[in-house]
Chain A
Amino acid sequence: MEAANVAQNLGQGAELAGKYLTFSLGNEGYGVGILSVREIIGVMEITAVPHTPPYIRGVINLRGKVIPVLDLRLKFSMNHKEYDERTCIIVVEVQGQTAPVQVGMVVDSVSEVLNIAAGEIEPPPSLGSSSETENILGMAKAKGEVKILLDVDKVVGEGLLQQLAS
Chain B
Amino acid sequence: MAAGHKPLSDLLDEMALKILMIEPGDLSIVGELLDLTEKLLPGQAAADTPMVIQRMAAAFKGALEKFIMGELADSAENYDFLGQCITEMQESARKEGRPGEKILAQFCDNMKKIGFSLQPSDLLEATDAVSIGMGAAEDKALDEKASAVASPQIDSPQVQAPAAGGTGQEALPDFLQDTDLLAGFIEEAFEHLESIEVNVLELEQSPDDQDIINNIFRPFHTIKGVSGFLNLKTINRLAHATENLLDDVRNGKRAMDSAVIDIVLTVGDALKSMVENIKDVLQNGPANYKDTDISSFLVNITQLQEGGNGAPPVEAVAAPVPDLPPEVFEPEEREEVEVLASEEAEAEAPPEPTSARVAQGVVSPRAPQQPASPAARPAADSGQKKIGASIKVDVEKLDALVNAVGELVIMQSLVRQNKLVSRIADAKLTKDFSQLTRITSELQRTAMSMRMVPIKQTFDKMIRLVRDLSKKSGKKVDLIMEGADTEIDRNMVESIYDPLVHMMRNSVDHGISPSADREKCGKSETGTVFLRAYQKGGSMMIEIEDDGEGLNTQKIRKKAIERGLVSESDNLSDFELNNLIFLPGFSTADKITDVSGRGVGMDVVKKAVEKLRGKVDVQSQPGKGSLFTIRLPLTLAIIDGIIVRVGTERYIIPTIAIQESMRPDRTNYSTVHGRGENLLVRGELVPIIRLYEIFGVESTNTDPCEAIVVVVENEGRRRALMVDELLGKEEVVIKNLGGLDVPGVAGGTILGDGRVGLILDLAGVIANKAD
- Where the two chains meet, the residues of A that have a C-beta atom closer than 8 Å to any C-beta of B are 45, 47-52, 56, 58-61, 63-68, 96-97, 101-103, 160-161, 163-165
Minimum Cβ distance to chain A for residue B623 (Å): 52
A61-B750, A64-B406, A68-B737 are known contacts. Are A52 and B742 too (CB-CB below 8 A)? yes
Minimum Cβ distance to chain B for residue A90 (Å): 15
Interface string of B1-32 (1 = CB under 8 A from A): 01100000000000000000000000000000
**B737 engages A50 (CB within 8 Å):** no
**A47 engages B735 (CB within 8 Å):** no
**A103 engages B407 (CB within 8 Å):** no
Which residues of chain A are within 8 angstroms of B750 by Cβ–Cβ distance? 61, 64, 66
Tell yes or no: B633 within 8 A of A by CB: no
A45-B755, A50-B694, A51-B744 are known contacts. Are A165 and B649 too (CB-CB below 8 A)? no
Docked CA distance A97–B748 (Å) = 19
Closest to B694 in A: A50
Tell yes or no: B686 within 8 A of A by CB: no
**A68 engages B404 (CB within 8 Å):** no
Docked CA distance A165–B736 (Å) = 18
Tell yes or no: B307 within 8 A of A by CB: no
Which 3 interchain pairs have the tightest Cβ spacing?
Answer: A64-B407, A50-B695, A67-B738
Which residues of chain B are within 8 angstroms of A66 by Cβ–Cβ distance? 735-738, 747-750, 756
Tell yes or no: B739 within 8 A of A by CB: yes
Contact residue among A49, A97, A161 (Cβ-Cβ distance under 8 Å from B737): A49
Minimum Cβ distance to chain B for residue A54 (Å): 11
**A68 engages B738 (CB within 8 Å):** yes
Tell yes or no: B322 within 8 A of A by CB: no
Contact residue among B697, B738, B755 (Cβ-Cβ distance under 8 Å from A102): B738
A59-B738, A101-B739 are known contacts. Are A49 and B3 too (CB-CB below 8 A)? no
Interface string of B739-755 (1 = CB under 8 A from A): 11111110111100011
Tell yes or no: B676 within 8 A of A by CB: no
Tell yes or no: B696 within 8 A of A by CB: yes
Docked CA distance A82–B609 (Å) = 47
Interface range on chain B (Cβ under 8 Å from partner):
20 to 34
Contact residue among A56, A102, A165 (Cβ-Cβ distance under 8 Å from B740): A56
Which residues of chain B are within 8 angstroms of A101 by Cβ–Cβ distance? 738-739
Tell yes or no: B726 within 8 A of A by CB: no
Docked CA distance A52–B3 (Å) = 15
Closest to A45 in B: B755
Contact residue among A52, A63, A164 (Cβ-Cβ distance under 8 Å from B407): A63
**B738 engages A65 (CB within 8 Å):** yes
**A96 engages B649 (CB within 8 Å):** no
**B403 engages A64 (CB within 8 Å):** yes
Tell yes or no: B757 within 8 A of A by CB: yes
Closest to A59 in B: B756
A59-B748, A63-B407 are known contacts. Are A50 and B735 too (CB-CB below 8 A)? no
**A50 engages B739 (CB within 8 Å):** no
**A61 engages B741 (CB within 8 Å):** no
A64-B403, A64-B404, A165-B2 are known contacts. Are A49 and B754 too (CB-CB below 8 A)? no
**B3 engages A164 (CB within 8 Å):** yes
Minimum Cβ distance to chain B for residue A154 (Å): 15
Contact residue among B697, B740, B756 (Cβ-Cβ distance under 8 Å from A163): B740
A64-B406, A66-B748, A97-B3 are known contacts. Are A48 and B649 too (CB-CB below 8 A)? yes
A48-B697, A50-B697, A64-B410 are known contacts. Are A160 and B755 too (CB-CB below 8 A)? no
15 A-B contact pairs sorted by A residue (CB < 8 Å): A47-B649, A48-B649, A48-B697, A49-B740, A50-B744, A59-B738, A59-B756, A59-B758, A61-B750, A64-B404, A64-B410, A66-B735, A68-B739, A160-B739, A161-B3
A64-B750, A66-B750 are known contacts. Are A50 and B745 too (CB-CB below 8 A)? yes
Which residues of chain A are within 8 angstroms of B768 by Cβ–Cβ distance? 51
Which residues of chain A are within 8 angstroms of B735 by Cβ–Cβ distance? 65-66
Docked CA distance A52–B750 (Å) = 20
Which residues of chain A are within 8 angstroms of B740 by Cβ–Cβ distance? 49, 52, 56, 59, 68, 160, 163
Docked CA distance A164–B742 (Å) = 8
**A164 engages B406 (CB within 8 Å):** no
Docked CA distance A56–B739 (Å) = 12
Which residues of chain B are within 8 angstroms of A45 by Cβ–Cβ distance? 755
Which residues of chain A are within 8 angstroms of B754 by Cβ–Cβ distance? 61
Which residues of chain A are within 8 angstroms of B741 by Cβ–Cβ distance? 164
A63-B407, A66-B748, A66-B750 are known contacts. Are A47 and B739 too (CB-CB below 8 A)? no
Minimum Cβ distance to chain B for residue A165 (Å): 7
A47-B758, A64-B403, A165-B2 are known contacts. Are A103 and B739 too (CB-CB below 8 A)? yes
Docked CA distance A65–B407 (Å) = 9
Contact residue among B404, B407, B756 (Cβ-Cβ distance under 8 Å from A47): B756
